Structure 1
Amino acid sequence: MAVGFEQEQSVTPDDFIKGVWKQNPVFVQVLGMCPVLAVTNTAINALAMGLATAFVLLMSNIVVSTIRNVVPKQVRIVTFILVIATFVTIVDYAIQAVSLDLHKALGAFISLIVVNCLILGRAEAFASQNSVARSALDALGMGVGFTLALLCLGGVREILGAGSLFNVRLFGESYQEWVVMMLPPGGFFTLAGWLLLINWYQQRKSRLQEAKESTL
């Protein structure tokens, strides 16, 4: 009965928007911190990891939603992991074919997409309980949100740490590079800065909304 009700639910724009902003995987749910902190030292690495994760998330959600009614509950987690691992392998070989340097830069973090709590969590909490259309839209939103978050971190770290963006030099030779931003601690500093900015914005928006309601 529950499955029938879920299938009757219509696709809404909120299925996509929530992943981009309201429930952003990085800035709101704080998921997938391993690649977020490890590979965002440049914008290119961040974009590649974000797109790879989004592709695996999208395809996994579609497949999981398609087979959700035929997979026994006892083996559903194992099945989900097998589905995710299949698409991670495809992404791994695709990145190798496109650029060996990029594949080397991302390293083991490509394979670790298999155990990314964001992907398995959406498969279990959403795709296994909703239609293919809603699951695909949910995956797109979460994938776009994850990629944008990685780009925000990677862009800031590359600009401050190397004085460039997507390997394009932004400043003159006199620019003093912040080497720490290219190191692991730089990921923590940048993430903390973005979280502080977003929380300040949300609190300010909430206060303005309360003030507006109190005057009515």
Structure 2
Amino acid sequence: MSQMKNFTKGFLKENPVFVLLLGMCPTLGVTSSAINGMGMGLATTFVLVMANFVVSLVKSGIPDKVRIPSFIVIIATFVTIVQLTMQAYLPSLYESLGLFIPLIVVNCIVLGRAEAFASKNTVWSSIVDGLGMGLGFTFALTLLGAVREFLGSGKVFGLTIYPEHYGSLIFVLAPGAFIALGYLIAIINKLKKA
């Protein structure tokens, strides 16, 4: 039961984007479309799960003085794997996400979960926590990207819902990320209180 609680807290109680307000740089930077949001979210999920797995395995062998640098090296290893794989097999998504892929290394969600959870818990609990937080992050980025894409261009995942000339350009641009995120956070807060 506690494993399920660890898994669902990333979606509900401790969603990294809507509740904890972590990882705002990629959240605002790459969510101009639903596919970009999903791609970034899944890349971060992979890194989060694998980093939590390795950190929980080697936690007893890492001296306190080099704990954070060690976590960053572990995270950077998996970010490099994601980056090279995406560059080889998903070049258009890789181009679209650009600099935000290497920035996963310093994403406070990944480093925070390695420090706060994986370094203090079992391997299985750490994997479940990473998966829950990662999928919660993916959900948030995909939802924000879908809202922005729908309002800005009349599409969702590239499928036309209404003619593009009825869309509002601001939602495709940077200010639209702030506006859409603000409204989504307000809606989620309202639903949590209900």
Partner deviation per Cα, 1:49-77 (whole Å, 9 max, x = no partner): 00000000000000000000111111110
Q: Percent identity?
A: 51
Cα distance, 1:11 vs. partner? 4.6
Give the alignment partner of residue 128 of structure 1, picking from 109, 119, 128: 119
Partner of 1:104: 95
1:187 aligns with 2:173: no
Partner of 1:142: 133
Partner of 1:165: 156
**TM-score of the two chains, using structure 2 as the length reference:** 0.97
Partner deviation per Cα, 1:115-172 (whole Å, 9 max, x = no partner): 0000000000000000001000100110010000001100000111111111111114
Cα distance, 1:19 vs. partner? 1.0
1:27 aligns with 2:57: no
In 2, are the aligned partners of 1:43 and 1:154 still within 8 Å (CA)?
yes
Task: State the alpha-carbon separation in 1 of the partners of residues 123 and 192 from structure 2.
Answer: 32
Stretches of structure 1 that go unaligned for 5 or more consecutive residues are: 1-9, 206-216
1:37 aligns with 2:28: yes
Partner of 1:86: 77
Stretches of structure 2 that go unaligned for 5 or more consecutive residues are: none
In 2, are the aligned partners of 1:11 and 1:133 still within 8 Å (CA)?
no
Task: State the alpha-carbon separation in 2 of the partners of residues 124 and 184 from structure 1.
Answer: 31
In 2, are the aligned partners of 1:50 and 1:143 still within 8 Å (CA)?
yes
Partner of 1:197: 187
Partner of 2:6: 15
Task: State the alpha-carbon separation in 2 of the partners of residues 119 and 172 from structure 1.
Answer: 39
Secondary structure of the 1:13 match is: helix
Runs of at least 4 residues off by over 2 Å: none
Which 10-residue stretch deviates more, 55-64 or 156-165? 156-165
Task: State the alpha-carbon separation in 2 of the partners of residues 99 and 144 from structure 1.
Answer: 20
- 1:17 alignment partner AA: T
- 2:177 alignment partner AA: G
Aligned residues: 194
Task: State the alpha-carbon separation in 2 of the partners of residues 42 and 120 from structure 1.
Answer: 26
Task: State the alpha-carbon separation in 1 of the partners of residues 163 and 7 from structure 2.
Answer: 41
Task: State the alpha-carbon separation in 2 of the partners of residues 201 and 148 from structure 1.
Answer: 16
Task: State the alpha-carbon separation in 2 of the partners of residues 151 and 172 from structure 1.
Answer: 22
